[in-house]
Structure 1
């Protein structure tokens, strides 16, 4: 807590002056983010730092395992409605054009999924929540592009990103919006040990390191890093 309190003082003294005008504009004009970003609650993953965004540019949801409970046939979440409401707000109110699900290496949620949720006797809510990661096992079995050289939890994590994007697409007419080209879904994966970010390129069949050369490929239209609902 001491670090947080001193950090607030440092922010006010050294960073806020340069951001004061931006905060005033955001207060007056509201937010206009282009991206809805789902990330894990893991403290080692800091999306705004990784993608170098300023306040107002990223609409973010963080959950254990970057999991999103899917919608039932009537469009209501089968789990916590928090993620569902964030999707509906981002798509229908804010008008975002991109939705990213970003997994990461050494994810504790993936380790717990592999170990078996029945071991989480002291955390029944966590065990129930991790049920939304179970389909990643089957997805991994039919995802030959996920490297076998990765540790088991990292392989499951990359497959889990695809499952959660499928869950996202069950809400609010998103399936039609994606196939109509109005919203793009993106599968990203962050390596905590190296700080590298990988993006799924379906045309090349795997997760590709997003370096400057790859970024230029994407921006020029020579690479597609989007995920299509499976």
Structure 2
């Protein structure tokens, strides 16, 4: 807690002068380009990883970067918090992109594979059911990258499953079909610091170096 408190002082004294004008501009409105869905893990810091500033990202974080699927009428089958963030970002903020970002060494993915009954965490156990489809796919269809550890294999497949869950929401499906919303699956390797993007053609997560970044941007521009 001491680190947090002194961090506030550091921001006020050292960083706030750099952001003061931007924060005044954002005081009454925001126009983020993307909804960024990622894990609550302390090692995953979205604004640091994608070099963004206040107002650039509408961020949704939870254990395992999970999105409970919707029913046919668009109601979430799980926690309404995630569904509300989707609706607000798409309908009110009119974001053009939604990114689901998983990561290596994810505790949630480890828990999905082990399901430790001694932990006595009924809420966590129920929440992780939203990753069961990813575990099923890993067991029956195999991993995208066999060189990864099992929980990292699951983490990558989980990103794809959560993208499918997103598409179960009518507002997302309609916006994607209209070409005004784009969904992306990313995966962050904590040890190397590399971010990867899922490529449908190769069916692999490809590292986002300059060449891959330019390819992704061209694809977005074309759509």
TM-score range, shorter chain: over 0.9
**C-alpha distance in structure 2 between counterparts of 1:153 and 1:203, whole Å:** 24
Structure-2 change in CA distance of 1:171 and 1:62 (3 Å) = same
Alignment correspondent of 2:3: 3
Alignment correspondent of 2:101: 102
Give SS of 1:221's match. Answer: helix
From 214, 217, 226, give the equivalent of 2:215.
Answer: 217
| Kept in 2: contact 1:145–1:205 (CA 8 A) | no
Give SS of 2:27's match. Answer: helix
Structure 2: which 5+ runs fail to align?
Answer: none
TM-score, normalised to structure 1's length? 0.91
| Kept in 1: contact 2:69–2:168 (CA 8 A) | yes
Task: Write out aligned runs for 1:137-152 (5 A).
Answer: 137-141=135-139, 146-152=144-150
| Kept in 2: contact 1:136–1:160 (CA 8 A) | yes
CA drift at 1:223: 11
Give SS of 1:214's match. Answer: helix
Give the aligned length: 223
1:94-139 C-alpha deviation (Å, 9 max, x unpaired): 00010000000000000000002x6255210000000000000233
CA drift at 1:178: 1.3
**C-alpha distance in structure 2 between counterparts of 1:223 and 1:188, whole Å:** 19
CA drift at 1:74: 2.4
RMSD: 2.0
Alignment correspondent of 1:130: 128
| Kept in 1: contact 2:87–2:171 (CA 8 A) | no
**C-alpha distance in structure 1 between counterparts of 2:111 and 2:160, whole Å:** 19
CA drift at 1:17: 0.3
CA drift at 1:144: 5.7
Structure-2 change in CA distance of 1:67 and 1:222 (3 Å) = closer
| Kept in 1: contact 2:47–2:53 (CA 8 A) | yes
**C-alpha distance in structure 1 between counterparts of 2:163 and 2:62, whole Å:** 14
Moved more, 169-178 or 44-53: 169-178
Q: Does 2:83 correspond to 1:84?
A: yes
Detail structure 1 runs of 4+ shifted over 4 Å in the superposition: 141-145
CA drift at 1:91: 0.3
Q: Does 2:66 correspond to 1:67?
A: yes
Moved more, 169-178 or 205-214: 169-178
TM-score, normalised to structure 2's length? 0.94
Structure 1: which 5+ runs fail to align?
Answer: none
CA drift at 1:40: 0.2
CA drift at 1:176: 2.4
Moved more, 7-16 or 177-186: 177-186
1:161-187 C-alpha deviation (Å, 9 max, x unpaired): 011111112224211221332211100
**C-alpha distance in structure 2 between counterparts of 1:72 and 1:185, whole Å:** 20
| Kept in 2: contact 1:201–1:223 (CA 8 A) | no
